[in-house]
């Protein structure tokens, strides 16, 4: 029986329960309990993650529990995972992916375009900030962190005029009715891996890896391999506004990726399609890295210097 671990937020535990149940159905064994963890990222509520260290803040304690043998597998939102896994930790399965789009939530307007001049938008995502300001430079961005319920509560209190939440999380919590409208991925590509769940385990635990391979979905593995390849080529972190989405259709992989300056003033974007061969996951990862390298070359040192010059 696998010893599962997860962040303790309501969304994380709900997501983890679906993964544990999926494996239990396949093996015919009783569903294992899930141990909850408070991570470094959960303890930070007053500032953006990029100011506190970026990616890895939601995985550190779970990685330690894996390596110590306290748990056998950890369930994450894929977009929380660093692009390079820590020594001894393997990304073993992508068992689920909901609609990756962002939901626009507002009582003041039906869409981002219809928000009044100078409206206040709450988000802790540097990607959403940059993409919003690229489309609407007149808007004011304020930091909004916390659970889905906390963010919805702040919205209802009138602290801001609008916010964005991942549709996947809202759907898994049964809260999708709060969405005013869905954001077109052509306007705002989601975070790489958004909507996907990931399961990690010890790299040398062959038995657990074999079990977890039974619940992975190849289509999702291929798509996120491309998105994470793109992220890796751009040294992506919470400090970098990056959006990417890969989609499969009839053996073709369609990829849309972009990187922006945090003020949204400048955007570099590429959209490409490739045919998959026998090593689909390897091909997809290489494809993502290739597109990321092209954007990196195009943005060049001007982009890096702009981040440093403006204190980002």
What does DSSP assign to residue 175? -
Cα(10)–Cα(148) distance, integer angstroms: 9
Residues 142, 153: contact at Cβ < 8 Å?
no
Catalytically annotated residue among 63, 72, 80, 205: 80
Half-sphere exposure of 78 (CA within 13 A, CB side): 27
Is residue 205 flagged as an active site residue? no
DSSP state string for 77-94: EGGGS-SSPPTTEEEEEE
CB atoms within 10 A of CB 177: 6
pLDDT the model gives residue 44:
58
| Backbone phi and psi for residue 254, each to the nearest 5 degrees, phi listed first | -100, 130
Q: What b-and-e string marks burial along 131-147, b requiring 16 or more CB atoms within 10 Å of the CB?
A: bbbbebeebebeebbeb
Residue 111's pLDDT is 97
**What is the pLDDT at residue 112?**
97
Residues of the chain with pLDDT under 70: 40-56, 236-239, 301-312
Closest Cα partner for 192 from 265, 295, 312?
A: 295
**Six-digit token string for 97:** 């992916």
Q: What is the pLDDT of residue 295?
A: 93
Taking only the tens place, the pLDDT of each residue in 145-181 is 888 888 888 888 888 999 999 999 999 999 999 999 9
Q: Which CATH number fits domain 102-182: 3.90.1150.200, 3.40.190.10, 3.30.559.10, 1.10.1270.20?
A: 3.40.190.10
Same fold, 1-97+196-216 and 102-182: yes
Supply the pLDDT for residue 312: 46
CATH number of 1-97+196-216: 3.40.190.10
Residue 30 has a pLDDT of 85
Angstrom CA distances, 65 to 1, 53, 61, 69, stand at 17, 20, 6, 6
User: Domain coordinates of the chain in residue numbers?
Assistant: 1-97+196-216, 102-182, 217-312
| Per-residue model confidence (pLDDT) at position 311 | 46
Confidence (pLDDT) at 52: 47
């Amino acid at each position: 029986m696998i010893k599962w671990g997860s962040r303790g937020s309501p969304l994380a535990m709900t997501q983890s329960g679906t993964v544990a149940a999926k494996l239990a159905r396949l093996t015919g064994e009783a569903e294992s309990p899930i141990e909850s963890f408070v991570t470094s990222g959960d303890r930070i509520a007053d500032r953006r993650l990029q100011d506190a260290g970026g990616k890895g803040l939601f995985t550190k304690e779970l990685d330690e529990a894996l390596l110590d043998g306290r748990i056998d597998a950890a369930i994450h939102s894929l977009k929380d995972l660093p692009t390079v896994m820590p020594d001894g930790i393997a990304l073993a399965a992508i068992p689920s992916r909901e609609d990756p789009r962002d939901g626009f939530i507002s009582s003041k307007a039906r869409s981002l375009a219809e928000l009044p001049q100078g409206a206040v938008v709450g988000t802790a995502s540097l990607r959403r900030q940059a993409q919003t300001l690229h489309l609407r430079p007149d808007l004011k961005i304020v930091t909004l962190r916390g659970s889905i319920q906390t963010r919805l509560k702040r919205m209802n209190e009138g602290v801001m005029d609008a916010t964005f939440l991942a549709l996947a999380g809202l759907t898994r919590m049964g809260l999708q009715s709060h969405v005013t409208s869905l954001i077109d991925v052509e306007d705002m590509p989601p975070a790489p891996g958004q909507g996907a769940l990931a399961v990690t385990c010890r790299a040398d635990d062959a038995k657990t890896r074999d079990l977890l391979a039974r619940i992975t979905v190849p289509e999702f593995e291929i798509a996120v391999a491309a998105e994470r390849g793109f992220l890796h080529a751009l040294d992506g972190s919470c400090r970098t506004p990056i959006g990417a989405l890969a989609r499969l259709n009839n053996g073709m992989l369609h990829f849309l990726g972009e990187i922006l300056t945090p003020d949204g003033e400048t955007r570099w974007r590429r959209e490409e399609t490739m045919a998959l061969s026998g090593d689909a996951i390897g091909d997809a990862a290489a494809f993502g890295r290739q597109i990321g390298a092209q954007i990196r070359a195009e943005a060049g040192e001007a982009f890096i210097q702009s981040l440093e010059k403006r204190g980002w």
